[in-house]
Amino acid sequence: MDNLEEKIREILEEELSSSLSDSTSKPSTVGSKGHNGIFSNVDDAIAAAKAAWEDYVDQPIEMRNKVVEAIKEGFRPHIEWMAKQIKEETGMGTVDAKIAKLNNALYNTPGTEILQPDAETGDGGLIMYEYAPYGVIGAVGPSTNPAETVIANGIMMLAAGNTVFFGAHPGAKNITRWTIEKLNEFVYEATGLQNLMVSLDQPSIESVQQMMSHPDIALLAVTGGPAVVHQAMTSGKKAIGAGAGNPPAMVDATADISLAAHNIVDSASFDNDILCTAEKEVIAEQSIKDELITKMQQEGAFLLKNKQDIDRLVKMTIKDNGDPDRKFVGKDATFILDQANIAYTGHPSVIILEASVDHPFTMTEMLMPIVPVVSCPDFDSVLKAALIAEQGYHHTASIHSRDLVQINRAAHKMNTSIFVVNGPTYSGTGVGFTGASALTIATPTGEGTTTAKSFTRRRRLNSPQGFSLR
């Protein structure tokens, strides 16, 4: 193994390992012949998914609709229980936010309705474009949105006519396994189809690597850190990669400051800021910075002023290698302040502080409710700083402004998969707002917010003599 491979493996071990406690979720029944989708090894799991696809691909679209409806109706009574289990197993986020995300995944994820074929006719006959499945998709999910990703990806990928091998994050293996088991149960009861989504009883780094190189995996869809996305992109297979982000929230001098403060605090505290779309730093014009900070405090943010406290917080929450310490990922603000022995009053939802654009909190995707506020003399400087902080991920950004020219400039310069104007960035995921769910945001590979169409090949049919206008 060369140095690059060794480094990738080390990072993957870090990304996919977990010291988080196991939950008391229901145990699985492992087998290679049942219809629950859980297997003891990669080969058996993928073989079952391939056999299922060979049957599924010949089914009419109506069968896919029945599959999607079975998933939506089946999980409906379990949402609150699932949210509590996710919180218990991962130790991250809040139950209320997870209920919202699960509802978003179930009811805002488009199915087959967006796969209508396109057609054109002319003197040269008929051309039709239709959206064909790949086959067996190898998916990898995060611990931050485990069951939500299973459901959203399941609806998209199965609606597109694929079957799925899902590589669970070890830090959320129990709720992921339970969700996959139940998905298969609901689908089997409604349609008689088995093993449309499969997984392993005990996920591991080795199983993920084996899956990625398996000849029967036609497409990889990976949500995770840079290393696992890189592994997928260099696998030689078609890959859809949902990687890291570090979303800046820009606030210019024309903004409704009260609204901006409310939206930023609301969004950065949602699920304790573990969404990769959530605001990770605020870049504000100097003239309104103080007012913005005051308004954010009124919305429940805690302003950290003491340099020694800030330095201690940096040392406590960021490891020597520059990564956020998993002990604090997805934890609430009071837990972080208590651990740092920083006194506070009330129940702050977000920790804010003034910082430079090159501060560790500004340049690190913290995935916890610590949000630095960077001030700049004018909007040009705000936009420049936002581009630095976003680091070219092209993931998510937002702006609070009444100036259409500056809004347009920011949208084009940031060039992100999600861009939010005068709103919380979680609105870009579909939670509580208009739009399809967005849990697999494939920026590195260019798909952006994914739908069922993302997991299909656009197939062209030419019929030179058919339906000619001559």
- Which pLDDT tens digit goes with each residue over 357-375? 999 999 999 999 999 999 9
Considering the domain boundaries, does residue 441 fall inside one?
A: no
Pairing of strands 441-442, 38-39: unpaired
Mean pLDDT of 432-443: 83
In a shared domain, residues 193 and 325: no
Considering the domain boundaries, does residue 224 fall inside one?
A: yes
Give the confidence band of 189 by pLDDT, cuts at 50, 70, 90: very high
Interatomic CA distance for residues 91 and 141, integer angstroms = 17
Interatomic CA distance for residues 379 and 381, integer angstroms = 5
**Does the structure show a pLDDT above 60 at 207?**
yes
Considering the domain boundaries, does residue 468 fall inside one?
A: no
> What are 318-341's pLDDT values in tens digits?
999 999 999 999 999 999 999 999
Q: Bridge-partner residues for 130, per DSSP?
A: 459
Amino acid 121: pLDDT: 84
Amino acid 283: pLDDT: 98
Collapsing DSSP states into helix, strand and coil, what is residue 375? strand
For the chain, give the percent of residues with pLDDT over 90.
76
Mean pLDDT of 186-213: 94
In a shared domain, residues 214 and 285: no
Give the confidence band of 14 by pLDDT, cuts at 50, 70, 90: low
Considering the domain boundaries, does residue 342 fall inside one?
A: yes
In a shared domain, residues 324 and 375: yes
In a shared domain, residues 35 and 90: yes
Domain count, the chain: 2
Give the confidence band of 32 by pLDDT, cuts at 50, 70, 90: very low
Closest to 346 in 3D by CA, of 401, 406, 297, 396:
297
**Does the structure show a pLDDT above 80 at 5?**
no
Give the confidence band of 11 by pLDDT, cuts at 50, 70, 90: low
Amino acid 229: pLDDT: 84
Considering the domain boundaries, does residue 454 fall inside one?
A: yes
Amino acid 311: pLDDT: 96
Interatomic CA distance for residues 69 and 182, integer angstroms = 14
Residue of 19 and 17 predicted with greater confidence: 17
In a shared domain, residues 232 and 371: no
**Residue 144 structural domain:** 3-243+448-460
Mean pLDDT of 339-360: 97
Considering the domain boundaries, does residue 352 fall inside one?
A: yes
Most confidently predicted of 17-21, 227-231, 413-417: 413-417
Residue of 316 and 436 predicted with greater confidence: 316
Mean pLDDT of 62-88: 97
Amino acid 15: pLDDT: 54
In a shared domain, residues 419 and 312: yes
Amino acid 256: pLDDT: 98
Closest to 285 in 3D by CA, of 259, 247, 254:
254
**Does the structure show a pLDDT above 70 at 429?**
yes
Q: How many residues does the chain have?
A: 470
> What are 139-153's pLDDT values in tens digits?
998 889 999 999 999
Amino acid 28: pLDDT: 39
Mean pLDDT of 18-42: 55
Give the confidence band of 50 by pLDDT, cuts at 50, 70, 90: very high
CATH of the domain at 207: 3.40.605.10
Tell me what percent of the chain is helix, strand and coil, each rounded to the nearest 5: 45, 20, 35
**Does the structure show a pLDDT above 80 at 38?**
yes
Q: Per residue, what are the HEC states of 237-283? A: CEEEEECCCCCEEEECCCCCHHHHHHHHHHHHHHHHHCCCCCCCEEE
Mean pLDDT of 400-428: 96
In a shared domain, residues 191 and 338: no
CATH of the domain at 367: 3.40.309.10
In a shared domain, residues 67 and 113: yes
In the chain, the amino acid numbered 457 is: R
Give the confidence band of 223 by pLDDT, cuts at 50, 70, 90: confident
> What are 162-178's pLDDT values in tens digits?
999 999 988 899 999 99
**Does the structure show a pLDDT above 90 at 156?**
yes
Give the confidence band of 274 by pLDDT, cuts at 50, 70, 90: very high
**Does the structure show a pLDDT above 80 at 182?**
yes
Amino acid 16: pLDDT: 52
Q: What are residue 350's phi and psi, to 5 degrees?
A: -140, 145
**Does the structure show a pLDDT above 80 at 34?**
no
Q: What is the pTM of this model?
A: 0.89
In a shared domain, residues 14 and 48: yes
In a shared domain, residues 179 and 159: yes
Comparing 30-34, 101-105, 148-152, 268-272, the range with the smallest average pLDDT is 30-34
In a shared domain, residues 211 and 288: no
Considering the domain boundaries, does residue 308 fall inside one?
A: yes
In a shared domain, residues 226 and 266: no
Name the average pLDDT for the chain: 90
Amino acid 25: pLDDT: 38
Amino acid 224: pLDDT: 78
Interatomic CA distance for residues 361 and 372, integer angstroms = 6
Considering the domain boundaries, does residue 469 fall inside one?
A: no
